[in-house]
Structure 1
Amino acid sequence: MDYSIPPLLGYLLALVQLLGIATAIHAVFTVRTAQGAIAWAIALLFMPYLTLLPYLVFGRSTFDAYIKARRHADREMRNAMTNLNWRPWAEEALAALESEAYGNLRAMPRLSRMPCLANNQVRLLIDGEATFAAIFAAIGAARQAILIQFFTVHDDALGRRLQTLLLERAAAGVVVCLLYDSIGSHGLPRSYIERLRSGGVQIEAFATRSGMLNRFQVNFRNHRKIVVVDGECGFIGGHNVSDLYLGLKPPLAPWRDTHIELHGPVVACLQESFAEDWFWATRQLPPLILPEAYPGSGMLCQVLTSGPADAQETCSLFFVEAIHAARERVWITSPYFIPDEAVFAALRLAALRNVDVRILLPARPDHRTVFAASSLYAFEALHAGVRVFRYQPGFLHQKVVLIDQDAAAIGSANLDNRSFRLNFEIMLLTVDRGFATEVERMLEDDFAQSRELAAGDDQNIHRLRQLGMRVARLISPIL
């Protein structure tokens, strides 16, 4: 009996193997992190039949053609805004930067493209009911323009409430621009979009798959959540538009999240971030509004935007800088904990400096592979002297950093590789003791509803689950 491989099949197998070798070399040269490059290269060398297509979709994290196009669009947008005489408004609101707390964050003035601004008011919004009550109230009072951007918009009860409200304001003559991520909102039905569009709402999808070279690109996402009303009131944080974020969908309910409401000159920075993404999607500027005057007192704030088109890894560097700046404490909450080497080293060093380092994570998984990898990192952090807590009542989705007694950051960025290198994110850094105290009280309440991991907890995990955690960690750089 002849067991030889047919010649054509043999040629195909050899071709796939050669493609695997060539693609592994490509991964070594192009994947941004050493861990990611190793993970892809090994998989492509030994399992090319299984990994070539996933690498085409998920692995080419630089996507030079897309990044160059995005950077070019950003330059065009900034040139257009310069013609509007946009930035000079900030001169009176620029912070003197004499704050000791801000001075400890020495890299921030150059890490962020946005200036640190004084005279802002920030209100903490805890969980979905408070968040959407404030957002809907602001939208309902809009007179000129509404800029609204979410990663996920669902056609459910909350999504339809938003839809109705936007249609009402558009009918009243308010300019409404709605931007959603094409991957995060992949389930949004065409009927939802067309009803808004026919009612006068300008609605667009943020996509990164334009162009022949990017047609398989689904790895970059716009994870920002921004609402700006009349150039005077802004919102950012962790919530998306879905009943899930109101805690109405088990098994993840109740949903724990945090948003903030902003007033003052920093709202202009939210408009600039929105304009950058809107310009990419439409090649047009949205309506941009600057109030004639701002209140004469308030806190220091700085917007930090980050994304894969940045020349440097802005989001990862922000976490490293925040941890290094801490002298007394750094408390971080995130739904996912997959730090890169730099962030994990910063956490270790902070613990060695006797800084009170705490990480608050969910006790329930929404993505099991990510949760498994996150669990292994959590135990390693515990052994390095970091206090790790698991939030018990429901799923924890907030993204908050509290630094010492005066500084706090809230926004959309998670403590993982996707936020560090693949997603477009936005965070707001605040420097104000009163607001930091509010954040401290909020987190203390969360810690009170959490279980702190103890030394030896990892010894009670079944061997098979430990193996799963380690396998998940191996692929964590590409999650």
Structure 2
Amino acid sequence: MFDWSQFWTWFYLIFLITAIPVALMIILEKRSPFKTAAWILILILIPIFGMIFYLVFGQEYRKRKMFSRRGIKSLKAMRRLSAEQLKNIEQNKLISLAGLQNQAHLIRLLLNNSDSLLTTGNTLHLLKDGQQTFDHIFEAIEKARHHIHLEYYIFADDKIGNKLKELLIKKRQEGVEVRLIVDDVGSWGLRKKFFRHLQANGIEIYPFMEVRFPRFTSRVNYRNHRKIIVIDGKMGFIGGINIADRYLEGLKGLGHWRDTHLQIEGDAATTLQVIFAADWYFITKENLYGNNYFPPLTDAPGVPVQVSASGPDYSWKSIEQAFFAAITAARKKIYIVTPYLMPRPS
């Protein structure tokens, strides 16, 4: 006669041996607390089968493979430097030198969750609309001597887009390296002719995660919303303004299209370059490294800046965490300007 008591003893023993490591895997995967709790609940309520269900459907193998950041030389150097900065922060050297004692918790958070180096030798210009932004961008590109790197969600085939295209071609003919990444969904309106014209003039341009059959692929969900320019590793632009006429002329029925941009001159441009280099490597498998792309960082006086990035290729929601930490630490005022305010119900 079958001994059910012995069966259940072995069943629960096997369950405990396998479930505990899987539960630890779920916790260490750095998901949102809601997803972590849901998977652990499934693991408890459906023994054995819950574990199999997680291993088949809960692991993000494809996403990990798609966004692997291994082999990027600039990232390795950045991680080494961020580890050194964390050590200096713990010893209070870096914070006191920069006069940032009140922001120590935020600096430490960004170093931990996204290797965001703190740089001090920077000059910043806040650009309040499209006209101001494009004027500064065109002026900076005119002065480029070694390379121009651009990464945009929307690069439109319109007046400002073609004006920038002609300037990039001119700089390439002067011997300046030009690399351009455009998001394949955000810049869906760009025709092959536009790409071929740039490529024929020696400019390297690639779409980010090309989508051929949007209804049959998850790639349409992984989009690149960055608006980045890095010039000679010393000058950078980042913010909310894409390359499109709408930021100058508005849109019919919607009116003026206003956003904000930031011009960075100094060491923070080098850290902005790391973000571009990681995305360039993801697309082309070409490593960008050396002093021409990453000038040595200095301890020069100036505005302190940390450049942080976030997305499916990062382990943590670093920008969200930084916003949360900054807001919770506020004591007097909180100003928020955003076109997208969609807080979670919780």
TM bucket (normalised to shorter chain) is 0.7 to 0.9
The AA in structure 2 aligned to 1:100 is Q
Given that 1:146 and 1:174 are in contact with CA atoms closer than 8 Å, whether structure 2 keeps it comes out as yes
Scaled by the length of structure 1, what TM-score is found?
0.54
Q: What are the equivalent positions in structure 2 for 1:301-380 lying under 5 Å apart?
A: 301-341=305-345
Q: What are the equivalent positions in structure 2 for 1:247-262 lying under 5 Å apart?
A: 247-262=249-264
Matched residue, 1:69 = 65
1:198-252 per-position Cα deviation (integer Å, ceiling 9, x unaligned): 0100001111769xxx834311211111101111110000000000112332222
1:265 paired to 2:264: no
Deviation at 1:151, TM superposition (A): 0.4
Deviation at 1:316, TM superposition (A): 2.3
Matched residue, 1:96 = 94
Deviation at 1:334, TM superposition (A): 0.9
1:398-441 per-position Cα deviation (integer Å, ceiling 9, x unaligned): xxxxxxxxxxxxxxxxxxxxxxxxxxxxxxxxxxxxxxxxxxxx
Output the CA distance in 2 between the equivalents of 1:266 and 1:129.
Answer: 24
With a CA cutoff of 8 Å and minimum separation of 6, indicate the structure with the bigger relative contact order. Answer: 2
Matched residue, 2:20 = none
Given that 1:139 and 1:229 are in contact with CA atoms closer than 8 Å, whether structure 2 keeps it comes out as yes
Select 1:142's aligned residue among 141, 144, 159: 144
Change (3 A) 1:142 1:316: same
Deviation at 1:294, TM superposition (A): 5.0
Select 2:232's aligned residue among 230, 237, 261: 230
Q: What secondary structure, in the 3-state scheme, does the structure 2 residue paired with 1:306 have?
A: coil
Output the CA distance in 2 between the equivalents of 1:100 and 1:85.
Answer: 23
Deviation at 1:64, TM superposition (A): 2.3
Matched residue, 2:184 = 182
Output the CA distance in 1 between the equivalents of 2:59 and 2:157.
Answer: 32
Deviation at 1:156, TM superposition (A): 0.2
Given that 1:179 and 1:206 are in contact with CA atoms closer than 8 Å, whether structure 2 keeps it comes out as yes
Given that 2:234 and 2:269 are in contact with CA atoms closer than 8 Å, whether structure 1 keeps it comes out as yes
Output the CA distance in 1 between the equivalents of 2:299 and 2:163.
Answer: 32
Matched residue, 2:153 = 151
Structure 1 gap segments, 5+ residues each: 1-30, 39-60, 343-479
Change (3 A) 1:244 1:165: same
Q: What secondary structure, in the 3-state scheme, does the structure 1 residue paired with 2:275 have?
A: helix
Q: What are the equivalent positions in structure 2 for 1:94-173 lying under 5 Å apart?
A: 96-98=94-96, 99-105=100-106, 107-173=109-175
Structure 2 gap segments, 5+ residues each: 1-30, 39-56
Matched residue, 2:3 = none
Matched residue, 1:430 = none
The AA in structure 2 aligned to 1:159 is G
Scaled by the length of structure 2, what TM-score is found?
0.73
Deviation at 1:115, TM superposition (A): 1.3
Given that 1:177 and 1:286 are in contact with CA atoms closer than 8 Å, whether structure 2 keeps it comes out as no
Matched pairs, number = 282
Q: What are the equivalent positions in structure 2 for 1:456-467 lying under 5 Å apart?
A: none
Identity percentage of aligned residues:
33
Output the CA distance in 2 between the equivalents of 1:62 and 1:336.
Answer: 29
The AA in structure 2 aligned to 1:217 is R
Given that 1:119 and 1:298 are in contact with CA atoms closer than 8 Å, whether structure 2 keeps it comes out as yes
Q: What are the equivalent positions in structure 2 for 1:426-437 lying under 5 Å apart?
A: none
Given that 2:235 and 2:264 are in contact with CA atoms closer than 8 Å, whether structure 1 keeps it comes out as yes
Output the CA distance in 2 between the equivalents of 1:90 and 1:308.
Answer: 23
Deviation at 1:174, TM superposition (A): 0.5
Higher strand share: 1
Deviation at 1:170, TM superposition (A): 0.7
Change (3 A) 1:293 1:333: closer
Q: What secondary structure, in the 3-state scheme, does the structure 1 residue paired with 2:262 have?
A: strand
The AA in structure 2 aligned to 1:96 is L
Deviation at 1:69, TM superposition (A): 1.7
Deviates more, 1:252-261 or 1:188-197: 252-261
1:159-185 per-position Cα deviation (integer Å, ceiling 9, x unaligned): 001100110011111100000101111
